[in-house]
Chains A and B, each alone.
Chain A
Amino acid sequence: MTESELIWRISGGSGDGIASTSQNFAKALMRSGLHVFTHRHYPSRIRGGHTYTEIRASDEPVKSRGDGYNFLLALGDSFARNPQEDAYYGNEELKPLSENLDELREGGVIVYDSGLLDADEIEGFDRRVEENDWHVYPIDLRGMAREQGREVMRNTAGVGVTCALIGMDLEYIQDLMREAMPDKILEPNLEILQTAYEQVQEEHDPDAHDVRIPSGEHDEPQLLMSGSDAISYGAIDEGCRFISGYPMTPWTEVFTIMTQALSGLGGISEQVEDEIAAAALALGASHAGVKAMSGSSGGGFALMSEPLGLAEMTETPVVFVEAMRAGPSTGMPTKTEQGDLEHVLYTSQGDTHRVVFAPGTVEEAYDQTRTAFRIAYEYQIPAIVLYDQKLGGELISVPESTFDREPNPDLGSVLTEEELVDAPHNAAGKYERFQHDVEDGVSPRSLPGQKGGRFLATGNEHEPSGHISESPENRVAQVDRRSQKVEAIRAELDDEGNQTPHGPEDAEYGILTWGSQQGTVEEAVDELNAAGHSVKSLGVSDLTPYPVAEVEAFVESVEEVLVVEMNASAQFRGLTQKELGRYGEKLSSLLKYNGNPFEPADIVEGFESTMIDGNDDVPGIETTFVPAAGD
């Protein structure tokens, strides 16, 4: 954690433009040369209800939202005054201010819209301000915006006030507004921004507090990207031109981004009647010779399990993405969790095979989505990119070079008509598309329309030409061949090294994590080492085939391992124990499942309390410790 970082939080009501305002401000901070990391918190409602976005900006690369924050812009919930809402949700008027005080750091700054909020109504507000040495600026943002005739523009006023108080030049915001806004609303917005900025400079003393914007410079051009963006662009660069889906939070983000991008590329997007259809469509498109994907979140993915099995049996390449949210059932639609791991690993009947990736960062989301397509089409197997609401939704500045943008239209193991002439055919002239003895278990495909390639794809067990067969010899040969593919994939992925080690190699303790918690764990590891502990971490991205050798070496090299994940049943720890076959006595779990991701402090606290002090109880109610269990 650097001294010079700004962590800015904007709060208000859902529907008040918090997302768009914060996105622009994050981009302005990035353009000024800083690394940014954003975190969204929003309720499952369209309008009204407390929501906030946090932007962490630093001259050093940032991997998580950090611990707490130091600048609050509380806008007020303009929908909280709806009497009908009152009946359902109680009075929420004060929440944008009152709900955000706990995490505000000492010496932090509070700007609140005195046109909508009255701090006097918050019990103990003044006392807390004094105790924490907060600097409070009540400013009538609503009034300011109203003077220009548009009350909704109080967001802009808030940004102007922020810039004045942290010493940030307005030019980055102004440029963004000019790029994004139509003329009609551009002028009043620029006016409000300027007015707010000047008014604060005249009427307040920005030097009364210590929160300042750091200055930085990027080594190379940056892009502000979310995990959903990265997955989408990875798919597109890898040649995906067909997507089918049904809207469900948070998977909808990928669906939307892909749909819009594909329309410019001459691809096809289909929003269909349900997730069963969505998955089946992806299979149909792939069968016909197009790189295709589909996806959903937990409940929708449950419906896809049957087509998933069909893809496995017919060896139809396809990529699914699964965006986790808190379950079971509808769970918490806008809250994050890593509870679908076992669902994704084991859903579908029979001895099934699939490849599952869980990228840990935005950069990995891009790379591993590309890998997922490559593996799926080369080995004719479904590949799944498993991520969560946190990774999907947080915007992070990443080097533009992350996105190599080399298109790959290669369909993988498909024969040309010329090659089909020499390929094996059965006595009736059908191509033996599912041959028993082939290298790596991969029997190349033919595509409908190709001469000499006729075959039957079926979800039943089948002989080489595709025809249904219940012959015991054929059954064993086909099952063995399909399994053989997985071993070939394992060998290929082991060489790729998708797992991310962090910290000193000879550390005494290890933290094992997977997916979106990787960056947060790495920051915690740095803090722990700075505090005199000896810790390293491994972020695992290949979930199946599981990187046994690498994880085993990691576990062997340390005294004890803390497994950090966001679910209540330690699913990844269970998978690890199953795959490694032992080490149960070495693996303890730190779990969080309240809907919010880990923050570095959770992990630091949990580690010190459990690994060092030997307590079973972690302070605070947010996390749970499950001690090692033996094998």
Chain B
Amino acid sequence: MSAFNAIGEEREIDREEFTPGIEPQPTWCPGCGDFGVLKALKQALPEVGRTPEETLLVTGIGCSGKLNSYLDSYGFHTIHGRSLPVARAAKLANPGLEVIAAGGDGDGYGIGGNHFMHTARENHDMTYVVFNNEIFGLTKGQTSPTSPKGHKSKTQPHGSAKDPIRPLSLALTSGASYVARTAAVNPNQAKEILTEAIQHDGFAHVDFLTQCPTWNKDARQYVPYTDVQDSDDYDFDVHDRVEAQEAMRTAEEALYEGEVLTGRFYVDEGRPSYQEEKQRIGEMPETPLAERYFDDDYEWERAYDEFIDKHR
């Protein structure tokens, strides 16, 4: 059998391959930032030479969760907050796949916060795109973990008493080896960052600012941005943890004060991915586990003889 021929073949990838012909058109509202993510992803994937067949897009629930309905790859639309554990295992089972996980700020930083922390800690070789619009969109406008303090909604009528999550800082402290923020209003930067994140060998977290024209007109997601890499004011070394931490703190505070800072904040090329670590210590086979099931020649060992012997 030849299930895995698709993987690793060198060929030119046509951008149109990721665009379904008569498949469902997005149900997102006109002007929604999610269109920006979809577009950037469609542009980035051919850039990195991935075919739709070797791409697995795993999503959570919410407007963002519908992303893989509109990208013509393999897809797994999971449950609220659980895209990362599904994606992690798929990648471990078949490292030949390009695994991308995506979700919203409620999905990724709220209900899935624990998984976010642990996936970053383990540094799985995958990309995680979080659509950050500071609101619960699909359930009609409730306060989210990234909504600013004082944000009023039907579920927080007195204004939120909580400080917002700081996703970039959280990713860094948890161990992500690539942390960036981009915005739907900056298509060029978004494509560049997604391309880089997908190519990165480790856990790449992209906090993707997406505007919600229906439920969150107050958020800063529409305003012109400053690319921290291009700005002399924010000169820092993306490879330096301490400097990156400081830059992130500034960016995360500035967002709520009216200035949108985006760009790469931290890149660590040196940290081995989880898969590499597991293989190094002998916890994971060199050949993809999934491939073995399709290889007629693979000898199904019963190497637990020593375990059976213990029962004699």
Q: Which residues of A contact B (CB under 8 A)?
A: 27, 31, 221-225, 229, 233, 236-237, 239, 241-242, 244, 257, 260-261, 263-270, 272-274, 276-278, 280-285, 287-292, 306-307, 309-310, 314, 403, 405, 407, 409, 411, 416-418, 427-430, 447-460, 466-468
Tell me which residues across on chain B come within 8 A of A31, comparing CB atoms. 312
Residue from A289, A309, A405, A428 within 8 A of B302 (CB atoms): A405
Q: Say yes or no: is B6 at the interface (Cβ < 8 Å to chain A).
A: yes
| The residue from B94, B114, B283, B312 contacting A448, defined by CB atoms under 8 A apart | B94
| CB < 8 Å neighbour of A287 from B6, B90, B118, B282 | B90
**CB atoms of B53 and A242 under 8 A apart:** no
Q: Which residues does chain B contribute within 8 Å of A268, judged by CB atoms?
A: 92-93, 278, 283-285, 289
A267 nearest in chain B by CB position: B289
B56 neighbours in A (Cβ, 8 Å): 288, 448
Question: Which of B79-87, B154-162, B223-231 lies on the face that meets chain A?
Answer: B79-87
Interface 0/1 of B2-18, CB less than 8 Å to A: 11111100000000000
> Are A288 and B1 touching (Cβ within 8 A)?
no
B89 close to A430 (CB less than 8 A): no
Q: List 30 A-B contacts (CB under 8 A).
A: A223-B311, A233-B307, A237-B302, A265-B303, A270-B89, A270-B92, A273-B114, A281-B85, A284-B86, A288-B56, A289-B3, A289-B293, A306-B79, A314-B76, A405-B302, A416-B1, A428-B21, A428-B22, A448-B53, A449-B3, A449-B4, A449-B6, A449-B290, A450-B53, A451-B53, A457-B77, A459-B77, A460-B77, A466-B75, A468-B69
A453-B283 contact, Cβ under 8 Å, with A242-B89, A264-B306, A274-B114: no
Q: A288-B90, A288-B290, A416-B2 are in contact. Are A276 and B23 (CB under 8 A)?
A: no
Contacts of A449 in B (CB 8 A): 3-4, 6-7, 53-54, 74, 94, 96-97, 290
| Bound-complex Cα distance A453 to B7 (A) | 13
Highest count of chain A CB atoms <10 Å: which of B21, B94, B311: B311
A280–B114 contact, CB under 8 A? Answer: no
Chain A residues whose C-beta falls within 8 Å of the C-beta of B1 in the assembled complex: 416-418
C-alpha spacing A280/B87, complex, angstroms: 9
Determine if B72 and A454 form an interchain contact, defined as CB atoms under 8 angstroms apart: yes
User: Interface digits, B245-285 against A, CB 8 Å rule (1 contact, 0 not)?
Assistant: 00000000000000000000000000000000010001111
**B290 A409 Cβ-Cβ under 8 A:** no
* Complex interface: chain B residues within 8 A of A307 (CB): 79, 82
Given contacts A263-B282, A288-B290, A411-B293, contact A283 B86 (CB under 8 A): yes
Beta-carbon contact of B94 and A288 below 8 Å: yes
* Cβ-defined contact, A221 with B66, below 8 A: no
B293-310: which residues lie under 8 A (CB-CB) from chain A? Answer: 293-294, 298, 300-304, 306-308
Chain A nearest Cβ from B1, distance in angstroms: 5
Say if the beta carbon of B202 comes within 8 Å of chain A. no
* Contact indicator A284/B6 (Cβ below 8 Å): no
In the complex, whether B31 has a CB less than 8 A from a CB of chain A is no
Asked if B88 and A456 make an inter-chain contact with CB atoms under 8 angstroms apart, the answer reads: no
* Contact status B21-A429, CB under 8 Å: yes
Do A292 and B22 form a contact, CB below 8 Å, given A265-B301, A409-B292, A456-B75?
no
| Contact yes or no, A284 B292, CB < 8 A | no
Q: B103 at the A/B interface (Cβ < 8 Å)?
A: no
Q: Select which of B23, B292, B294, B304 is within 8 A of A467 by beta carbon.
A: B23
Residues of B in contact with A (beta carbons under 8 Å apart): 1-7, 20-24, 52-54, 56, 58, 61, 66, 68-69, 72-79, 82, 84-94, 96-97, 114-115, 117-118, 278, 282-285, 287, 289-290, 292-294, 298, 300-304, 306-308, 311-312
Contact check, A428 vs B86: say whether CB atoms are below 8 A apart.
no
Instruction: Report B-chain residues with C-beta under 8 Å of the C-beta of A411.
Output: 293
Q: Which 6 A-B pairs have the closest CB atoms?
A: A284-B89, A266-B285, A458-B77, A280-B85, A289-B290, A284-B86
- Please tell me if the beta carbons of A280 and B86 are within 8 angstroms of each other in the complex: yes
Query: For A468, what are the chain B residues with a Cβ–Cβ distance below 8 Å?
Result: 24, 66, 69, 77
**Complex CA distance for A453 and B53, rounded to whole angstroms:** 8
Cα A239 to Cα B300 in complex, Å, equals 9
Known A266-B289, A290-B290, A417-B1: A282·B311 in contact at CB below 8 Å: no
**B86 / chain A contacts, CB cutoff of 8 Å:** 280-281, 283-284, 287
Inter-chain contact A281/B3, CB cutoff 8 Å: no
Q: A273-B115, A289-B94, A417-B2 are in contact. Are A448 and B74 (CB under 8 A)?
A: yes
Q: How far is the CA of A167 from the CA of B294 in the complex (A)?
A: 56
With both beta carbons as reference points, the residue of chain A lying nearest to B76 in the complex is identified as A457
Contact of B79 among A288, A292, A310, A418 (CB under 8 A): A310
Given contacts A242-B93, A417-B2, A449-B290, 16 further A-B contacts (CB under 8 A): A236-B304, A239-B300, A265-B303, A266-B287, A272-B118, A280-B86, A284-B91, A292-B89, A292-B93, A306-B82, A307-B79, A407-B300, A418-B1, A448-B90, A457-B77, A468-B77
Contact B78 A280 (CB under 8 A): yes
Q: Say yes or no: A272 contacts B85, CB within 8 Å.
A: yes
Query: CB distance B58 to A451 under 8 Å?
Result: no
CA distance A485 to B94 in the complex (A): 28
Complex alpha-carbon distance, A243 and B99, angstroms: 20
C-alpha gap A453/B5 in the complex (Å): 12
A-side contacts of B69, CB under 8 Å? 456, 458, 467-468
A380 → B minimal CB distance (Å): 14
In the bound assembly, the distance between CA atoms of A583 and B277 in angstroms comes to: 59
Docked Cα-Cα span, A318 to B72, in Å, equals 26
How far apart sit A429 and B61, CA to CA, in the bound complex (Å)? 25
Residues of A within 8 A of B285 (CB): 266-268
Closest Cβ of chain A to B159, distance in Å, is: 31
| In contact, A427 and B21 (Cβ under 8 angstroms) | yes
Most buried by B among A272, A289, A460: A289
Q: Which residue of A lies closest to B300 (CB)?
A: A407
CB neighbours of B97 from chain A (8 A):
288, 448-449
Complex interface: chain B residues within 8 A of A264 (CB): 303-304, 306-307
